[in-house]
A = this chain, B = another copy of it.
Amino acid sequence: MSTRKYFGNWGGSYIPEALHETFRQLDIAYQQIRNDPAFWDEYTALMSTYSGRPTPLTHAENLSNHFGGAQIYIKREDLNHTGAHKANNVMGQGLLVKRMGKTRVIAETGAGQHGIATATMAAKFGLECTVYMGEEDVLRQRPNVFWMEKMGTTVVPVMDGSKTLKDAINEAFRDWVTNMDNTHYVFGTACGPAPYPEMVSWLQSIIGQEAAEQIVSQHGKLPARVYACVGGGSNSLGIFQRFLEEEQTELVGVEAGGHGLDSSQHAARLCGNDASAGIAQGYKTMFLQNDDGQMLDTHSVSAGLDYIGVSPILADLWEKKAVRFEAATDQEVIEALDLTMRKEGIIPALESAHALVQAFKEAPELSKDEAIIINMSGRGDKDIFTIAHAYDDPSWKEFIIDRAAQYRK
């Protein structure tokens, strides 16, 4: 097989000439691993001994009973080493880097999860590592920065533009066009120039492969619906791909509705009205941009979903109506989080809680012998600063104030 550059009208590889040769070599290396069954074996072995795969599929009995409809199953990407599905992609690219013989990796990160995963992989594989992170995100996600640094990674705060994920991506590309000889850019989601969308989706497809086997063995048949949150699209594609050809399974991607689709403070590219086709960051997709083609500021309670673009593969599946897209507001997300913690003792990442919102809305419509799967892309304890803040928790505030007083002395 060879790499698909376009997915319907979307995708491509809009890169500066300086990277042309780098991408040509990356594509060759990617095709080699893709066509080498030994690679997938090496990959799954690594994920098994290092990251705890297969991750479980948990039957959320209490939530199922609470909604009185479909049996709710949760795919537990939170139990991956580093706490999110991001590890899948990163460890896979780590093996690729080893094959390519490069000695340094760079990455962008928004929520910090991909940065943590890359720092982890770099430590494990003995690679030098620089992570670009928007200054806003550095401020929001200081604990992640701390851990990245402790694992030996250099975290560079990006002061340009909106100081978030997209700016970190630009900055990573700027690094790459200078240092491509020894450096691989570990792209964090199923976006960017080819072959990234396909490669990242492929590495993440391990999620859906496991989930399909698990649901059949635990529930007896395939699910009626599969829900996943959609930032760049990697966790959703990771679980969706396996079910694309399954007639009985409907796929639902959930975007960040922020303060509501009409508020212009959201990050809905496929289910809202504020996005349009465009080309940026090396690929063509639906972007949140103005009429001049300038990218807009986005908003979400979750740092991992507030990205301007979306995987070209998802744009294609959207256009072909193979995946349905919905949005969850910040408020709904906090409520779903709350319910999931209380009912199941599980703390979803704010990103993942978007998928829960939509699943909870629809579960009652389905009969009790149907199953739905929610891809829980990550764990929420990393989000303590955001979540405690969102809850406006007084003793948390007091705790922080006390700590600060100690530090100010």
Contact = CB atoms under 8 A, between A and B. Distances in A.
A292 interface: no
Nearest to A118: B345
B81 A52 contact: no
Given A120-B345, A122-B345, A341-B151, A139 B399 contact: yes
Contacts of A121: 345
A385 B399 CA distance: 11
A275 interface: no
Contacts of A239: none
A352 to B, nearest CB: 14
A395 B144 CA distance: 12
Interface residues of A, number: 60
A381 B345 CA distance: 19
Given A385-B403, A408-B401, A123 B50 contact: no
A145 B381 CA distance: 12
Copies in the complex: 2
Contacts of A336: none
A402 B81 contact: no
A48 B217 CA distance: 13
A139 B405 CA distance: 14
Contact of A79 (B81, B146, B384): B81
A252 interface: no
Contacts of A146: 384, 388, 393, 395-396
A124 interface: yes
Contacts of A382: 381
A57 B400 CA distance: 37
Interface in A15-61: 48-52, 55-59
Contacts of A282: none
A58 B62 contact: no
A218 interface: yes
A76 interface: yes
A321 interface: no
Interface in A77-98: 79, 81, 83
Contacts of A385: 403
A58 B122 CA distance: 16
Given A48-B56, A347-B147, A404-B404, A341 B381 contact: no
A406 to B, nearest CB: 9
Interface in A306-348: 338, 341-347
A142 B396 contact: yes
Interface string A183-206: 000000000000000000000000
A31 to B, nearest CB: 28
A344 B123 contact: yes
B124 A345 contact: yes
A152 interface: yes
A56 B87 CA distance: 15
Contacts of A49: 56-59, 218
Q: Which 4 A-B pairs have the closest CB atoms?
A: A404-B404, A120-B345, A123-B345, A142-B399
Interface of A: 48-52, 55-59, 62, 76, 79, 81, 83, 119-124, 126, 139, 142-143, 145-147, 150-152, 218, 338, 341-347, 381-382, 384-385, 387-388, 391, 393, 395-397, 399-405, 407-408
